[in-house]
Chains A and B, each alone.
Chain A
Amino acid sequence: MSDNLVRQDRLIDEFSFKKRISRLFSSWEFILFLTLVGIFILFSFISPYFMDYFNLMNASLSFAEKSILALSMIFVILSGDIDISVASILALSSFAMGNASVKGAGSGTLVIIGLATGLAAGIVNGFLVTKIKIPSIAVTLATLSIFRGISQAILRDNAYTHYPLKFAYFGQGYIGNSVIPFEFVFFLVLAVLMGFILHKTTYGRKLYAIGNSASASRFSGINVDRIRFINFAVNGLFAGIAAVLLTSRIGSTRPNIATGWELEAITLVVLGGVAITGGKGNIFGVVIASLLVGYLKFGMALVNLSAKVMVITTGALLITAVLVPMLLEIAKAKQKLRSQRSELKLERKAS
């Protein structure tokens, strides 16, 4: 009798617990947004150059590509996988474009080559993960070395530096005669597109289901491996997009291009409130996190903080983002245990 009661209690408790957690996560974006506003207020006080329309727009060039990587990374992480090879895919894709450019390819062809290389690399990852059934961390750890290794082996200490003039628009161009960089607008467009897929389509709903329990999803008829495969392919494609933008912006391909960006993209996703274990999170958090990290770095650079301090600050933010919800969950669970125990005691006394 008492056993049943406890079970019911637990059910009710878990239900409200989930509700509370979901409330916490829906508010996480709000807190991020407040922090973003705080950063703007703070830096407009300490640097006369921060609150400048031109500067703010221009600064978006420094984070747009990494944020684009984060957009598709959300899908991978939501479904419980990880892809640490994106920066290497970017390097490979940039290498392919550089190689084609030397042979006289035009801007349009270069874009197609860049995107196709990214997509192909993503498909390789997806194939190894879903068909050969190797865990994604192992697969992408290997391809992280391989994809960049290819360009390192061929380019060595050299660089491809000759790109068509028109190709510069993607990374260096502005919308019309405004000071709004093309890259920034492109990032926002992609964010809306990915947000729509994630939150308004069944594909998006399935991602959450897979992230919460892959086997339960399988039993309910979701083709889990197909979705995971598509995630990796799209992630590769987005790395290709970032490669086009970055290569166009700096007009040069070196084997060390975009070193370490995979971690920065994952940072944005996690800071944006997406659970690293999958199943939780949304696109707004990641977009706000992108702006937050981008402008925090910009502001810190404006007051001449060393790159080391910036890295540490981003790290601290990340730990806050991951640790705090975890600590709260632990505290919750303890509290629940305590209340259950006292209830049991009461019951015993009553009986």
Chain B
Amino acid sequence: MKKILSILLVLSLITVAVFANGGSDKAAADDGQYKMVLLVKSLGNGFFEACDDGAQQAVAELGNMEVVYMGPSQSTAEGQIEIIETLIAQKVDAIAISANDRDALIPVTKKAMAAGIKVISWDSGINIGGRIIDLAPSNAEFIGRQQYQLIAELTGNKGQIGILSATSQATNQNEWIKWMYEEAKKPEYADMEIVEVVYGDDASDKSYREAVGLFSKYPDLAGIISPTTIGVLAGAKAIEDEGLQGKVQLTGLGLPSEMQHYIEDGTCVQMALWNPVDLGYTATYICEALITGKITGAEGEMIPAGRMGEIPVGADGSAVMGAPFVFNKSNVAKFAAIF
């Protein structure tokens, strides 16, 4: 019986060896290649797999990088820390992390940076001190201005615009709305005005009622901006139910998977959100620039980021990719399958 047990255990070891050879093939191929790990919150998430697609696009363009996609089986900081420990042991060149915890990863990423590894965070950042650069998909100014531009395109730069926000205390939305007002000051929007901001509290039913309220209060309403995924969905439903398609335009920040139907039937012709493919792509470019010494992460440096153009490094290593990605009839189906 010892024999049987030993045989089974040896078999399981051989299995590991077979799998592992696949891994070491990669290692063998990395002569002169810089090795970067794209560390995501957890495996089995379409959003992050799309990020990896973007990273591989950058790899194809750059030619000197190899990107390995990794993540824990559950989205915990502990799982990510375990992986980072082994990456330190392997002495990879760079790690780009979408963090499960802003602070919990700092001790281990500090250890990694002390070992000469370039660490950046993206999507979900690590606090200052735990990474060289933090790549945000967008910032308040980009988002706010773009939202207003999107609705202006739909209403032909005129008419009354209502804003359907989340809660009245939501920091993000309030900041974005501030920039919408800022954008509205431009001369080309002279025939447009923001008539009211209403709050749906990120609840579907309240958002729906607030949208309907806007229709009755402003019979000439030309468009609604809803910079929240729940609000934009409720707004679309309200427009459809009231038969106002084409009369009241809608844009906002929405999930392609939730909004596909309304984008395809024209209720919401275009909306925006960050694009995971671009995120992975840009993260890879940033790592390459740090490894090869093109940048050090100091404030004011310009990161060459391929098709995304040049991205400036801001205070405390913060970098912003750009305006959110615009989804419309032509691309929504593709992204709806992802997130």
Q: Name 21 A/B residue pairs within 8 A (Cβ), A-sorted.
A: A24-B1, A34-B9, A58-B88, A159-B103, A250-B78, A250-B104, A254-B76, A258-B78, A298-B89, A299-B20, A304-B26, A305-B23, A306-B43, A307-B43, A307-B72, A307-B79, A308-B44, A310-B73, A313-B16, A316-B12, A320-B5
Report if B71 contacts A (CB, 8 A).
yes
B14 to chain A, nearest CB (A): 9
Report if B10 contacts A (CB, 8 A).
yes
Q: A62-B85, A302-B86, A308-B43 are in contact. Are A27 and B9 (CB under 8 A)?
A: no
From A252, A256, A297, contact of B103 by CB (8 A): A252
Residues of chain A with a CB closer than 8 A to B17's CB:
42, 46
A297 to B85, CA, bound (A): 12
Cβ B90 vs Cβ A49 within 8 A: yes
Report if B250 contacts A (CB, 8 A).
no
Interface centre among B70, B91, B107, B108 (most CB of A within 10 A): B107
Report if B74 contacts A (CB, 8 A).
yes
A72 to B9, CA, bound (A): 27
Report if A38 contacts B (CB, 8 A).
yes
Report if A212 contacts B (CB, 8 A).
no
Cβ A302 vs Cβ B70 within 8 A: no
From A27, A43, A168, contact of B2 by CB (8 A): A27
Residues of chain B with a CB closer than 8 A to A303's CB:
20, 23-24, 27
Cβ A313 vs Cβ B15 within 8 A: yes
B80 to chain A, nearest CB (A): 10
Residues of chain A with a CB closer than 8 A to B107's CB:
168, 172, 249-251
A300 to B90, CA, bound (A): 12
B40 to chain A, nearest CB (A): 11
Residues of chain B with a CB closer than 8 A to A31's CB:
2, 5-6, 9
From A47, A172, A301, A328, contact of B83 by CB (8 A): A301
A103 to chain B, nearest CB (A): 18
Report if A22 contacts B (CB, 8 A).
no
A303 to B104, CA, bound (A): 25
Report if A121 contacts B (CB, 8 A).
no
Supplied contacts A298-B89, A309-B19, 9 more A-B pairs, CB within 8 Å: A27-B2, A31-B2, A38-B10, A38-B13, A46-B23, A58-B88, A250-B105, A299-B16, A307-B43
Q: A46-B24, A55-B89 are in contact. Are A306 and B16 (CB under 8 A)?
A: no
Cβ B20 vs Cβ A46 within 8 A: yes
Q: Which of A309-346 contact B (CB under 8 A)?
A: 309-311, 313, 316-317, 320, 324, 328
Closest 5 CB pairs of A and B: A303-B23, A252-B104, A301-B86, A250-B104, A161-B103
A316 to B15, CA, bound (A): 11
Cβ B81 vs Cβ A250 within 8 A: yes
| Chain B contact residues: helix, strand, loop or mixed | helix
Residues of chain A with a CB closer than 8 A to B244's CB:
none
A58 to B82, CA, bound (A): 10
Residues of chain B with a CB closer than 8 A to A28's CB:
5
Cβ A49 vs Cβ B89 within 8 A: yes
B161 to chain A, nearest CB (A): 31
Report if B4 contacts A (CB, 8 A).
yes
Report if B261 contacts A (CB, 8 A).
no
| Chain A contact residues: helix, strand, loop or mixed | helix
B74 to chain A, nearest CB (A): 5
Residues of chain B with a CB closer than 8 A to A313's CB:
12, 15-16
Cβ B68 vs Cβ A305 within 8 A: no
Report if B77 contacts A (CB, 8 A).
yes
Residues of chain A with a CB closer than 8 A to B20's CB:
42-43, 46-47, 299-300, 303, 305
Residues of chain A with a CB closer than 8 A to B75's CB:
256
Residues of chain A with a CB closer than 8 A to B27's CB:
303-304
Report if B106 contacts A (CB, 8 A).
yes
Total number of A residues with any Cβ neighbor in B under 8 Å: 56
Residues of chain A with a CB closer than 8 A to B5's CB:
28, 31, 320, 324
Cβ B104 vs Cβ A251 within 8 A: yes
Q: Which of B1-56 contact A (CB under 8 A)?
A: 1-2, 4-6, 8-10, 12-13, 15-17, 19-21, 23-24, 26-27, 43-44
Q: Which of B308-329 contact A (CB under 8 A)?
A: none
Report if B301 contacts A (CB, 8 A).
no
Cβ B12 vs Cβ A320 within 8 A: yes
A185 to chain B, nearest CB (A): 18
A47 to B82, CA, bound (A): 17
Cβ A254 vs Cβ B104 within 8 A: yes
Residues of chain A with a CB closer than 8 A to B9's CB:
31, 34-35, 38, 320
Interface centre among B10, B13, B68, B105 (most CB of A within 10 A): B13
Report if A59 contacts B (CB, 8 A).
yes
Report if B101 contacts A (CB, 8 A).
yes
From B19, B71, B103, B105, contact of A307 by CB (8 A): B71
Report if A259 contacts B (CB, 8 A).
yes
Q: Which of A143-161 contact B (CB under 8 A)?
A: 159, 161
Report if A190 contacts B (CB, 8 A).
no
A303 to B83, CA, bound (A): 11
Q: A159-B103, A252-B104, A305-B20 are in contact. Are A246 and B78 (CB under 8 A)?
A: yes
A38 to B71, CA, bound (A): 27
A306 to chain B, nearest CB (A): 7
Report if A257 contacts B (CB, 8 A).
yes
Q: A46-B20, A320-B12 are in contact. Are A307 and B73 (CB under 8 A)?
A: yes
Cβ A42 vs Cβ B78 within 8 A: no
Cβ B72 vs Cβ A304 within 8 A: no
Report if A106 contacts B (CB, 8 A).
no
Cβ B77 vs Cβ A252 within 8 A: yes
Residues of chain B with a CB closer than 8 A to A324's CB:
4-5, 8
